[in-house]
Structure 1
Amino acid sequence: SSISGQNTRTPIKHVINIYFENHTFDNYFGTYPQSPQSSKQDIISSLPTPVNLLSNVSLLSSVRAIPPGNFSTPDPIEGYTAYHTDWNHGSMNNFLNGSGPYSMTYYDSSQLGPIWDLAEQYSMGDMYFSPLLSESAPNTMYYLAGFSPVFNDYGPPPGIPFSQTIFGELSSYNVSWGLYIPKQSLASNYSEWNHIEGMNSHLGNVGTWNDFTSELENGTIPSVSYIFSQEANGTDQAAPSNILKGKMWLIYLVNKIEESPIWNSTAIFITWDDPGGYYDQVSPPVLDGIQLGFRLPFIVVSPFAKEGYISNTILTHPSILAFIDYNWEMPALNQFVSRVNIPIDFFNFHDSYGQNGILREPIIFNFGDNFPVPKAPEFTLPTNLQSLNVSATFPMEPQYNLSSLPYPKTGSVTFNLSSISPQVFVKQNSVLVPFYASYSFLFAFILLNVIVLSFGVRQRWKK
């Protein structure tokens, strides 16, 4: 293959992906930016409103707000069947019969103020969909490979080869990459990549959260990083876990990145793997023949991210892969990746903020007693959560005047890799199935049983 190395189409030299679990857009941003308790209503009124529950009063009344001081719900019913029942062929009106009563809930600024601050200070998408109407395993495979060998949480087997993932493509084009997980001991059978055959030959690319922060401090992180929150006692935010822990961990990480020497060349993509059974109102589209799943939260943090911007661009997990391919001048990972939109409208690479130029200074998120930011990636949650209401953290003072930004507050683009080049890295994805799990084995097993039974019948007939 041709050599890409460190050439990039944009000023972004580091992409950092942070991955959580199991929340929809309406579950997290259903009432954004409304915060009645805030004394800063002038800032709130200047922020754009995404497509959310605020646009439909009757819809809002049918979904229940989670009370302040509560940072979790019982787990809604999850899975391929439940989500298809919720979806109801696009009517989005059968959640009570699919994912059940706990699906019809949403968080607001009293629980999510700091995450809302990330969206307010930087950019978010309100049309970012999970790749499939299903749960973690298939959606995560689309996140890492733009393809899945499974349609629900089962296996492995089957799997896909390492060479057909984004890691295989990055390796082929000499672009450095790294994966960061809670503990090194998890690496050889980590849930987020155990459907990828051959990952254990690349465990040198796997480090811990502490390794990531050390590399940040000395400026040696790879070009593309994936930080996984999973398998860490609730950091992933999946119900019934307390979402506060994952939120504190996220703010800690964002602060560490913004304080580091690589901030001026970085884009952070923050998203969740699948809807987790929670309600969302938008019927997902079909993209390149694939029925997408429900909307997920999606936040982009970067010195080039537009302030307070809401993108209406239709996106999905492989859109992040498309950005990586686009940025490092590589072909699309596969056909599906070539046809999804690239999240390019989140960035301002050209328009100056006056004498400050186009680069935004780091924003260190420090909320004092209103929200305790941890000092390390592993920490213990505060004990008295019932009294914690983080609505006072939102909104923050804008970095620049929201009425005089050099770009619109909302927008969308239709831009994909197929409009640049027909080239793809993986022309045909493979599903790897060992012989014992294949249809050939099943056929041979059935045939052998038929032969044995027939032989037994003949022997008895002879007698």
Structure 2
Amino acid sequence: MRIISISIATTLLLALGSAAPTKPAPAGGNSGRLPGLDKIKHVVYFMQENRAFDMYYGTMAGVRGFQDPNIGIQDNGLNLLYQPDSKSPDKKNGTSYLLPFHFEGNRAGCTPGGSNMWTPNHQAWNGGKYNNWPDGNAPASMGYLTRDQIPFHYALAESFTICDMYFQSVIGSTDPNRVVWMSGTNQGPPNNYILEDNTEWISLGWDTYPQNLTQANVTWQVFQDKDNFDDNSLAWFAYWRNIKDGPEKQKGVGFVGLQDFYDRAGNGTLPQFSIIVGPTELSEHPSNTPQAGAWLQAQVVNAVMHSPKWNETALFINYDESGGYFDHVVPPTPPKELWVKDIFNHQMAPNGLGPRVPMVVISPWTRGGHVFSEVSDHTSTLRFMEEWVGKSASGNYLAPAGLVDDWHRKTTSNLVNVFDFDNPDYSIPELPKTTMPTKNSFGNWDPTGKNKKETYDEKRGFDILNDPEMCEKLSDPKSKPPYGNQTYPTVEKGSKLIRGELTEGRALAMVAHTGALMKTTSGGEKIELQKLSKRATSEFGQSDLFHLEPVGALNEYMIRSLAHPEKCLNVWGSEPLIGECKGTSWVFEYHANGAHHHVRHKGTDLYLGANDAAKIHLSKAKQTSHFKIYSVTY
């Protein structure tokens, strides 16, 4: 297949045969599904390869990136961007360190990071301290790209909704993560086997989610060419290996190609659920370039957007794992009683969650450049399908993701809140043009140009690629750690409206339903409201911003002033004010239809609001007081 060679993690973060349906489904009807989901008639899942969130989007405006106000602090007093590196001559607080560094030049796209395998990534995790990336994995782990290098990716995210708290499920490589994506777990028969690496000779004995879709009469299809990078995880399961050839097997492991997907999208005959598996060189797996992957993404996105069924389709594009690239957010970790035996050192270790990976949701109900902030992982995509297919009259899921355990269900999102069904935007954004990658003499993808030695594998049906990407042949040297000349990464200025339940890790601007911004006065003496009529939301300043510190239960936080960090939003009697932080907490209640939050003071159960007289107040009635909350970088 493919070979690539802090603070303790908080637990508070805390499957398509014929296109014609055999029976209309989802069968749950409006009463069996969460509100709005009946508007989606077609779901498309497309998973790419091996990129961490920070590697692509650490500098993007309005996401939880390198400007994270809640970044973990190490025992040496340095934040987690200052990763200890024994090879570095640069020292701070007595520690040799390596900061995230920019991959530069015309070979940046084919510059690999570290290893994506179980052991190096657990070494980087380092018992939850998350401070062993250069030494435990590789210094190259710390590289990242910026907007000018991946313009299509940025434009797509800013035309729709990006998820900045989406984690890979397993602290390991491709196979276990793709297995979770298609089944809900990487553990089961035979003999309670745990898939921790890219071992494929064992026929996995547990069921996959597409089997449940068939039982629920949901039409579905895997779309893949013969060159699929061996990324269709259904092929690793005993059920799909042993099932007799026929329509069902063709749905799961047959080679119904990507052109079939484009054609069916174009004539409005996609099945209800589509899974796309891309070719090797277009997968974005290092050293395959993001530019080649962007072209493939553009084909899929354009096929969906220009389909006659665009108004009822949702496309999810995510990545299986981080590829050995650094991400600064410490993943949620299950309690030790849920850890598994490490097959490499025979010690107990967490199975997941692993580093954040990108995900963008493309649909009419996610237009507008928003950010989805709920903790999610690959099991979340199955739980979304549960909700979308719906429930029976008795309240049971028609297509349950029964292998998703309780810890994941309590910790991660079902993704439903990413949509605002009351405010669709059916327009089609203009995205940057992408260049079609080259093909070789066999007609197979080969962005390397002409291979020095072309060989054809008759069994697998595609060329064995002997050369790396054509960017390897360009002139610039590959970026190496800039020891002796390091700079702290800078981020873009801007904001994105938050969708979903709030999580920490971002500066927040709170805009009341009246259109006024809640902010502190310049001296931090009080809070006030300021009309935004003459100010764009991209111009939020430090005095306009707050950040959250989790306290107590889920969604309960202190709201701390960014400009005056010793002060928090508090209450005196029944009046909101800016004051001491001790003993105060607020609960954020999200409403997806309208994408706004109600903010409730925990001690009084009163709701924060604003009136037409531009005064902040507390009220028992939440219906009249809500806030649009923006994630801001400045």
> TM-score, structure 2 length as denominator?
0.53
Report the counterpart of residue 157 of structure 1 in structure 2: 202
Code of the residue aligned with 1:79 in structure 2: it is: M
Report the counterpart of residue 362 of structure 2 in structure 1: 301
Partner Cα separation in structure 2 for residue 335 and residue 204 of structure 1: 24
Q: Does the Cα contact within 8 Å between 2:417 and 2:499 map onto a contact in 1?
A: no
Is 2:241 the partner of 1:213? no
Partner Cα separation in structure 1 for residue 426 and residue 375 of structure 2: 26
Q: What CA deviation, in whole Å up to 9, does each residue of 1:354-413 have, x standing for no partner?
A: xxxx3422224243xxx436799976649796699xxxxxxxxxxxxx99x9xx444427
Partner Cα separation in structure 1 for residue 104 and residue 231 of structure 2: 35
Gap change, CA 1:345 and 1:68, over 3 Å in 2: farther
Report the counterpart of residue 333 of structure 2 in structure 1: 286
Report the counterpart of residue 54 of structure 2 in structure 1: 26
Once the two structures are superposed, the pairs formed by residues 314-463 of structure 1 within 5 Å of their partners are 314-330=375-391, 331=397, 332-334=400-402, 336=404, 339=409, 340-351=412-423, 358-367=424-433, 371-372=434-435, 381=447, 408-412=497-501
Partner Cα separation in structure 1 for residue 414 and residue 444 of structure 2: 33
Partner Cα separation in structure 1 for residue 328 and residue 228 of structure 2: 37
> How far did 1:112 drift?
1.2
Number of equivalences:
367
Is 2:218 the partner of 1:175? yes
Report the counterpart of residue 97 of structure 1 in structure 2: 135
Give secondary structure in 2 for the equivalent of 1:227. Answer: strand
Give secondary structure in 2 for the equivalent of 1:360. Answer: coil
Is 2:304 the partner of 1:257? yes
Structure 1 residues without counterparts, runs of 5 or longer = 34-48, 352-357, 389-401, 416-463
- Greater RCO (CA < 8 Å, at least 6 residues apart): 1
> How far did 1:4 drift?
7.4
Partner Cα separation in structure 1 for residue 233 and residue 403 of structure 2: 23
Give secondary structure in 1 for the equivalent of 2:223. Answer: strand
Code of the residue aligned with 2:426 in structure 1: it is: R
Equivalent of 1:124 in 158, 162, 181: 162
Give secondary structure in 1 for the equivalent of 2:281. Answer: coil
Partner Cα separation in structure 2 for residue 190 and residue 178 of structure 1: 15
Report the counterpart of residue 239 of structure 1 in structure 2: 286
Report the counterpart of residue 249 of structure 2 in structure 1: 203
Q: What CA deviation, in whole Å up to 9, does each residue of 1:277-318 have, x standing for no partner?
A: 100111110258463111110110001114111111010001
Gap change, CA 1:190 and 1:126, over 3 Å in 2: closer
> How far did 1:336 drift?
2.1
Code of the residue aligned with 2:260 in structure 1: it is: D
Gap change, CA 1:345 and 1:131, over 3 Å in 2: same
Code of the residue aligned with 1:6 in structure 2: it is: P
Gap change, CA 1:374 and 1:103, over 3 Å in 2: closer
C-alpha RMSD of matched pairs (Å): 3.1
Give secondary structure in 1 for the equivalent of 2:148. Answer: helix
Report the counterpart of residue 99 of structure 2 in structure 1: 62
Give secondary structure in 2 for the equivalent of 1:194. Answer: helix
More strand by share: 2
Code of the residue aligned with 1:67 in structure 2: it is: E
Q: Does the Cα contact within 8 Å between 1:123 and 1:310 map onto a contact in 2?
A: yes
Report the counterpart of residue 74 of structure 2 in structure 1: none
Q: Does the Cα contact within 8 Å between 1:251 and 1:373 map onto a contact in 2?
A: no
Gap change, CA 1:287 and 1:13, over 3 Å in 2: farther
Partner Cα separation in structure 1 for residue 136 and residue 330 of structure 2: 15
Q: Does the Cα contact within 8 Å between 1:132 and 1:139 map onto a contact in 2?
A: yes
Q: Does the Cα contact within 8 Å between 2:141 and 2:324 map onto a contact in 1?
A: yes
Deviates more, 1:325-334 or 1:198-207: 198-207
Code of the residue aligned with 2:235 in structure 1: it is: N
Partner Cα separation in structure 2 for residue 251 and residue 109 of structure 1: 17
Code of the residue aligned with 1:320 in structure 2: it is: T
Give secondary structure in 1 for the equivalent of 2:150. Answer: helix
